[in-house]
Structure 1
């Protein structure tokens, strides 16, 4: 008989959303304090933030599997592995990586067929967005900002979903960097690129619009002059899971469709 994990701790949000989508939420015994999707997941026991976790509690719970994301959680993973726990840390950065992650997670819990079916749904949503984007007469130049000090532009999957929905990313090359330090941009670079739309999505805090409007040279940007500066939800767009596709696409298509009328 094939055996799969019966108790899983999710130290980041994307694994939670995927397991709920696959109908296996009962496997989750602990979640991150930042989990938002789906809302009922917030009732699960909290065992971690992003950069730190309650190692003692996790060890005492003896989960079959601990799931995390990125090199930022490598030290947590190392400590848990040293205690004999099974740990899987994903490190993808692209839309393709998100889809591959969903399949891997499905395979880990014995739901490979459900995962494949779910991926097909997401791919259909992406195809719809691409088709809709082709109807737009104008493809606006877009600056995605994930942090304000220093200025950090959007990560790869965020930038890709913007382009899928009809925008032209002004910092495409920097978005490919796996590290935040590689995605630092300057005021001068943004002003020179002259974005039509600014999508602000600050990780862990609310956007302060005046801090954007009052930057040197920003008053001349079409995005500022035409009131095309938007705040987006980090729980949707900064999650390396289904959320940017499931919910992010609809929001971006609305922004870009409305832009056609400006």
Structure 2
């Protein structure tokens, strides 16, 4: 049986439950949910990412609330004090996302379907990785999660970039789980590391390549000089759920492959 009335405080449990055919269990979702699109039409919105309408959630009489990371600790604490069972996941890697699919599926009695979905994701990853191995040269890539202050890419995005055939210029930052630990103390460090590609995924707002190109000292960065400034919408890559392993990985692969094709001699 498992929980019958689930509130999803972030997008990834909503997307996963819909993919598993268990959407009937969901009674409330995050206002930031965009996948699948029908969820926004079918389910009441009860939370943002760092805040939630606790009274509205309690009125839905949930038997489980699912959230993500320490950032939702206050929401989780309020719900626990009100007697709601809460699961806060904290996966930060590609392997962790795949495992999350399996764990969530088991939680709602859909373990076999979750395992099949996870295996499908693993096969997709293996295919993209094998395709990337045919590239003659791997680009150096600067992943930017926010612009002011400049925050480098989180671990699962960095790992997906590696799978797609690129190399993160700040791999040491990607290992840091908290955004504050990935803030660039010196923006000119990007210049010194000379990325071939810049990929922006600014959570909640549009990437502005013209602003990036105009940063002092950045004019000689290969990515700027060659117009290799690209955006991947944050819902595709910054949610640690299925979207990152599908459309997010595809978007990274397309950018890397496109760059590689442009390096080929005429």
Pairwise TM-score range, normalised by the shorter structure = over 0.9
Unaligned runs of 5+ residues in structure 1 are none
1:194 paired residue number: 194
Aligned residue among 30, 33, 37 for 2:31? 33
Q: CA RMSD in A?
A: 0.8
2:85 paired residue number: 86
Per-residue deviation, residues 110-161 of structure 1 (Å, max 9, x unmatched): 0111111100000000000110000111100000000001100000000100
Question: What is the CA–CA distance in structure 2 between the aligned matches of 1:101 and 1:160, rounded to whole Å?
Answer: 16
Trace 1:2-81 onto structure 2 (pairs within 5 A): 3-43=1-41, 44-81=43-80
CA contact 1:200–1:207 (8 Å) conserved in 2: yes
1:138 paired residue number: 137
Deviation at 1:258, TM superposition (A): 1.3
Could you list the structure 1 runs, at least 4 aligned residues long, displaced by more than 4 angstroms after superposition. Answer: none
Aligned residues: 260
Per-residue deviation, residues 134-193 of structure 1 (Å, max 9, x unmatched): 011110000000000110000000010001000010000111101111111131211110
Question: What is the CA–CA distance in structure 1 between the aligned matches of 2:150 and 2:133, rounded to whole Å?
Answer: 31
Deviation at 1:96, TM superposition (A): 0.8
Question: What is the CA–CA distance in structure 1 between the aligned matches of 2:147 and 2:68, rounded to whole Å?
Answer: 23
Work out whether 1:246 is the aligned partner of 2:250.
Answer: no
What SS is found at the alignment partner of 1:146?
strand
Unaligned runs of 5+ residues in structure 2 are none
What SS is found at the alignment partner of 1:53?
coil
Question: What is the CA–CA distance in structure 2 between the aligned matches of 1:72 and 1:59, rounded to whole Å?
Answer: 20
Normalised to the residue count of structure 1, the TM-score between the two structures is: 0.97
Question: What is the CA–CA distance in structure 1 between the aligned matches of 2:208 and 2:94, rounded to whole Å?
Answer: 28
Deviation at 1:261, TM superposition (A): 2.5
Deviation at 1:100, TM superposition (A): 1.2
